[in-house]
Amino acid sequence: MFSRTTRMKRTLTLGALAASAALVLSACSGGLASGGETDSGDGPIKLGMLAPFSGSEAAFGDYMKFGAQLAIDEVNADGGVAGRDLELVTEDDACDATASVAAAQKLVTAGVKGSVGGYCSGATLPTLPIFADAGIPMVIPAANSNELVGQGAFMINGTGTQQAEAAVTWINKEGAKNVVIIDDNEAYPKDLADSIEKQATGLTVAREHVNPDEKDFSAAVNSVLGKSPDFVVWTGYYQAGGLLIKQLRAAGYAGPILVGDGSVDAQLSAIAGADAMTGVVGTFTRTPDMLENGAQWIEDYKKVSGGKDPGPYSIQTYEAVKTIAEAMNVAEGTDYDKVVAGLKGLKDFPLLTGNLTFADDGSRQGGGFVIVEPTGDGGAFVLKDELKG
């Protein structure tokens, strides 16, 4: 159900990609950094959303789009923002860093006054200078690499550090002592693995890395088993994760496995096989089915989506729109500095997933991660433990 895949080239760092984006901006003859279209003060306020609408993550773009559109419909029905309707403008970033730069430039040219997209961390980071130079505030619904923190954007999802804290809390709750963490060497999974290892004080921790494009993980599986773990963590995405879990079980590992939010997806069970999923849990933020009033929200979402169920980060994108709309109402318009001040000033802003307050670095205070398990229909992940005690 829920994954977030980066498609950046491994030969470049995220920081280098961000710098490249800044250079592209300075070279544009059209002056994209000037902010695209001037806001006339009337007509709809355009919100831009970058998401994957092509590639292996294409389904997630629609999940996010429909969540955003539901929020926009509700805001408009309630009088809009400063008396103006909101309008959603989407562009495909394909979860690719290069594609995201071009897509962000299109949104600037289209005259968007706020950004409510960002699914893959590696594709989101190089867009930060583009939107900042254009005076477009960013509320990111999904991407949550620690490298995004403190860069001027505001994050609806908890950070990798906060997710790692939830993972370590669960590992300790399970009484594990000898942990092996496996990542796929891509930006976000490695970032999450590093954070878990850093926080797992008092535990014996070993690391393994795999190439997510391979199908045979026997070498890594044998290496993992040679370390005699009583707990395994996978921080990558469900495509490789399903195969890895299947092969770990086939090789004899019967212990618990925890996966990061990039693998919290019903497809994990489809790939690994239901029998292999016994003892598998994941870290994730709340989904509509976990909420007291979630059934009504799902019904409303289906009206917008043409009957399709919500999926990865639908609700977080919905909340990103509600959040930036509130800040624009406080700002009484779209002035960048005033909207940013409005976002910083939100205190316990009520959202479906819990009250929202941003920390000084733009991250969400508390994070909101819980433990989920794949025991729902078709291997869907459902709430297992709220980690409250």
pLDDT (tens digit, 9 = 90+) per residue, 88-104?
A: 999 999 999 999 999 99
Residue with tokens 């060497």: 185
pLDDT (tens digit, 9 = 90+) per residue, 123-157?
A: 999 999 999 999 999 999 999 888 999 999 999 99
Contact yes or no for 61/118 (Cβ under 8 A): no
DSSP 127: G
Contact yes or no for 89/70 (Cβ under 8 A): no
- Domain coordinates of the chain in residue numbers? 14-158+293-366, 160-285+370-385
DSSP 276: G
At residue 5, does pLDDT exceed 50?
no
Name the H helices within the chain: 14-27, 59-77, 97-110, 121-124, 128-133, 160-173, 187-199, 218-226, 238-250, 266-272, 294-305, 314-331, 336-344
247-268: average pLDDT:
95
Token pair, residue 163, equals 């997710």
Same fold yes or no, 14-158+293-366 and 160-285+370-385: yes
Predicted local distance difference test score (pLDDT) of residue 39: 67
DSSP 275: G
Nearest to 162 by CA among 260, 240, 241, 230: 260
At the topology level of CATH, where does 14-158+293-366 sit? Rossmann fold (3.40.50)
The CATH architecture assigned to 160-285+370-385 reads 3-Layer(aba) Sandwich (3.40)
Residue with tokens 């006339």: 40
Share of the chain above pLDDT 70, in %: 89
**pTM of the shown model:** 0.78
pLDDT (tens digit, 9 = 90+) per residue, 207-256?
A: 999 999 999 999 999 999 999 999 999 999 899 999 999 999 999 999 99
Distances (CA, A) of 59 to 52, 56, 116, 280: 8, 8, 17, 24
